[in-house]
Amino acid sequence: MNPMTARGLGLGVAVAAWTLISHLANLPLQLWPVLVGLGCFLAAGGGISGLQKSALGSLSGVVWMILYVAISGALGRNEILDALLLGGAAVGMVMQTRLPLLSYTAGAFAGAGTAIGVMGLRAVNWNGGIRVAIMLAIGAGLGYAAEWISGMMKTGRG
């Protein structure tokens, strides 16, 4: 089987399996953040390295948004302050690239955007952040599982 077909089928099987599991188990996890996590894994190059970079990078973005909302709330929230704090979080997400496991900037921004998208700009908190991080990590894990499935298809094993 050609590698692109195997990859597409592997991704299709992994996404379909997760969708079925999440619907049948009635899990309180939205599907779209899982797909964002999957996309981060694919864009990070896959494999164990891509799994680590995408999971930790996107998690860091969630943490940056939790910090942004907490500091903004503590300082009284206003438009100018929010703009400066969010800009500071963006700088932080770029500067963390000096740490190898947090060097996936796109993952950090995807995690930040997903946290805001799931919870709302002013409602980001630790409990919700944990749920978002779980959804993003499941997506990265699905990508890894899809690689394994496609590897089995290409080699005819399994």
Residues 72-124: tens digit of each pLDDT: 999 998 999 999 999 999 999 999 999 999 999 999 999 999 999 999 877 78
Total-model pTM = 0.89
CA 121 – CA 124 distance, rounded (Å): 6
Residue that is written with structure tokens 């932080």 in the block: 92
* Alpha helices (H) along 25-123: 31-43, 47-74, 79-95, 105-119
Q: Give yes or no for residue 156 having a pLDDT over 90.
A: no
Least confident stretch, 64-68, 96-100, 125-129: 125-129
The pLDDT value recorded for residue 151 is: 84
The model's confidence at residue 158, banded by pLDDT at 50, 70 and 90, is low
